[in-house]
């Protein structure tokens, strides 16, 4: 009965996508991020001076509008290079390659900020489902699913010790009127916060995150706990 209710409300879609994204990708690559960034920093000491930015910045546009090339989303974002690859055997595929790209983000003062950044790829699936008659996702349902995906992923990552301090989720709603450099400003805002956090740690004070940050408190879906998808088994399998 709970499964049928979940399917009717489609709440299981975002929940499943978030878990799949974590187990099949983030749990594999995030624990290796620090080492990869450290290797790059040794060869390029001036580009990644702030250790707090040595993480994967994951873009979560609630519109699910994902660009394959970040430069097309915002010309102030430019590809620099790829970080060290991770090669693993996965599900029958020999030498499957995992890698991340480093970008230079130009701010309003023409200063360059460098970081590893990419979209949360499951959002492409949500967008595709909203365009497919079989899935029958409305635009409003897609937005709700995107919010639930973010909240679920946030909770999963918060509980993952091996992924601690290796990522930063950047959830955002694009303005109704197109802004040429909205995305670069959004990323730079987070990079500045990371710089402030590092300075605060060095000075021994507590880092402060302004209330303007888009977090799970602002992504309230008004879904009760009993309505959320529940695991089919409780024995750990």
Q: What is the pLDDT along the chain (237 residues), one digit of tens a residue?
A: 444 544 455 557 899 999 999 999 999 999 999 899 999 988 888 888 788 899 999 999 999 999 999 999 999 999 999 998 888 877 788 888 889 999 999 999 999 999 999 999 999 988 888 877 666 677 888 899 999 999 999 999 999 999 999 999 999 998 888 788 999 999 999 999 998 887 776 666 554 444 334 554 455 544 434 444 443 333 333
Q: Note the pLDDT of residue 2.
A: 46
Residue 218: count of CB within 10 angstroms of its CB: 12
Q: Note the pLDDT of residue 11.
A: 57
Q: Note the pLDDT of residue 95.
A: 81
3-class DSSP state for residue 148? helix
Tokens of 236: 């750990």
Do strands 93-98 and 167-172 pair parallel, antiparallel, or not at all (unpaired)? unpaired
Do strands 101-106 and 77-82 pair parallel, antiparallel, or not at all (unpaired)? antiparallel
Instruction: Break the chain into its structural domains and give their ranges.
Output: 10-204
pTM for the predicted model, two decimal places: 0.81
* CATH no., domain 10-204: 3.40.50.12100
Q: Note the pLDDT of residue 175.
A: 86
Q: Note the pLDDT of residue 5.
A: 46
Q: Note the pLDDT of residue 155.
A: 96
Q: Note the pLDDT of residue 48.
A: 81
Instruction: Write the secondary structure of 138-154 as one string of H (helix), E (strand) and C (coil).
Output: CHHHHHHHHHHHHHHHH
Q: Note the pLDDT of residue 138.
A: 79
């Amino acid at each position: 009965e709970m499964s049928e209710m979940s399917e009717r409300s489609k709440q299981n879609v975002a929940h499943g996508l978030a878990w799949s994204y974590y187990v099949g990708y983030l749990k594999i690559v995030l624990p290796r991020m620090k080492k990869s960034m450290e290797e790059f920093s040794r060869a390029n000491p001036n580009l990644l001076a702030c250790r707090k930015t040595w993480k994967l910045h994951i873009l979560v546009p609630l519109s699910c509008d994902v660009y394959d090339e970040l430069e097309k989303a915002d010309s102030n974002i430019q590809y620099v290079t790829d970080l060290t690859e991770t090669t693993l055997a996965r599900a029958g595929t020999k030498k499957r390659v995992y890698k991340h790209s480093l970008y230079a983000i130009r701010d309003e003062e023409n200063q360059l900020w460098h970081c590893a950044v990419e979209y949360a790829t499951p959002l492409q699936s949500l967008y595709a489902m909203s365009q497919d008659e079989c899935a029958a996702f409305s635009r409003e349902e897609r937005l709700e699913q995107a919010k639930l995906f973010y909240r679920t992923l946030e909770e999963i990552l918060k509980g993952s010790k091996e992924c601690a301090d290796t990522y930063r989720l950047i959830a955002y709603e694009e303005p109704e009127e197109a802004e040429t450099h909205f995305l670069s400003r959004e990323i730079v805002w987070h990079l500045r916060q990371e710089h402030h956090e590092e300075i605060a740690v060095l000075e021994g004070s507590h880092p402060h995150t302004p209330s303007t940050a888009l977090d799970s408190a602002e992504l309230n879906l008004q879904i009760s706990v009993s309505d959320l998808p529940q695991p089919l088994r409780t024995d750990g399998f």
